[in-house]
């Protein structure tokens, strides 16, 4: 008998398509779930009532919070700092509800780039914007870079021993792409770093007491991962986590 593939909910973003509001997911995230995690991706619209989160989670085996060009509004973590465009208010609200519902249900939650930031905020942490700081050029390519050069922008990170990242990546140092301006400032309650960059930015996190894995990375493992074993391992970790039988508390 063929094993049923797990179903992974993939967070969508607000976009304008042909002059209308739409919900979109870039194909590379769906391919990551289908091809590399060997799971069935289902797009989860972020523009909906947060009260729907528990019902959605109940029908999924895991949740993936994707990266996005949008920034989280600082008001979401009680900061008076101005919001930096582009923003996505619907995703800000629904992602927090989805993380909380998944943790409560004991379902795995994984995050990529903005997804890491969303998980940190959902756990009570804060963010900071690196634009205008010395770190901005380390963590994001110049504004005029094309797509290939934007994702070729990379730096080394140090993996924290005995962390989930250390176990699945199997190396003390990794080279990762870097396409972000927001970064973790105060780490959320119940989260622990898995890797840091030379300038102290937290590059990967996991939850310490959740019933299922909560794990996120600041880089983009979905971007052409075939030649990067640690990025392929991210997807394997997601797939295996989604296949782990759920045991009610």
Active site residues per annotation: 113, 220, 222
Q: Which two tokens stand for residue 167?
A: 């176990």
Provide the CA 240 distance to its chain's centre, in angstroms.
17
DSSP-derived pairing of the beta strands 109-112 and 202-207: unpaired
Q: What are phi and psi of 237, to 5 degrees?
A: -60, -45
CA distance linking residue 72 with residue 121, whole number of Å: 9
Region of residue 169 (phi > 0: left; psi between -120 and 50: alpha; otherwise: beta):
alpha
Provide the CA 71 distance to its chain's centre, in angstroms.
13
Determine the length of the chain: 249
CA distance linking residue 226 with residue 87, whole number of Å: 31
């Amino acid at each position: 008998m063929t094993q049923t593939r797990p179903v992974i909910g993939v967070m969508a973003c607000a976009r304008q398509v042909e002059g209308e509001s739409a919900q979109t997911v870039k194909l590379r995230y769906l391919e990551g779930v289908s091809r590399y995690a060997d799971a069935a991706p289902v797009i989860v619209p972020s523009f909906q009532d947060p009260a729907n989160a528990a019902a959605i989670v109940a029908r999924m085996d895991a949740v993936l919070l994707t990266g996005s060009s949008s920034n989280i509004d600082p008001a979401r973590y009680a900061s008076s700092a101005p919001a930096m465009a582009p923003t996505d208010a619907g995703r800000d609200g629904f992602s927090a509800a989805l993380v909380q519902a998944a943790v409560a249900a004991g379902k795995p939650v994984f995050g990529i780039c903005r997804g890491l930031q969303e998980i940190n905020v959902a756990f009570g942490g804060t963010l900071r914007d690196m634009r205008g700081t010395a770190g901005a050029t380390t963590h994001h390519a110049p504004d005029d870079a094309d797509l290939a050069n934007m994702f070729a922008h990379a730096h080394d990170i140090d993996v924290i021993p005995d962390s989930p990242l250390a176990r699945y990546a199997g190396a003390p140092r990794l080279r990762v792409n870097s396409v972000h301006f927001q970064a973790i400032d105060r780490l959320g309650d119940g989260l622990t770093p898995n890797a840091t960059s030379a300038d102290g930015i937290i590059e990967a996190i996991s939850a310490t007491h959740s019933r299922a894995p909560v794990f996120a990375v600041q880089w983009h493992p979905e971007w052409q991962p075939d030649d990067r074993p640690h990025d392929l391992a991210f997807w394997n970790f997601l797939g295996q986590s989604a296949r782990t039988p759920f045991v009610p508390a």
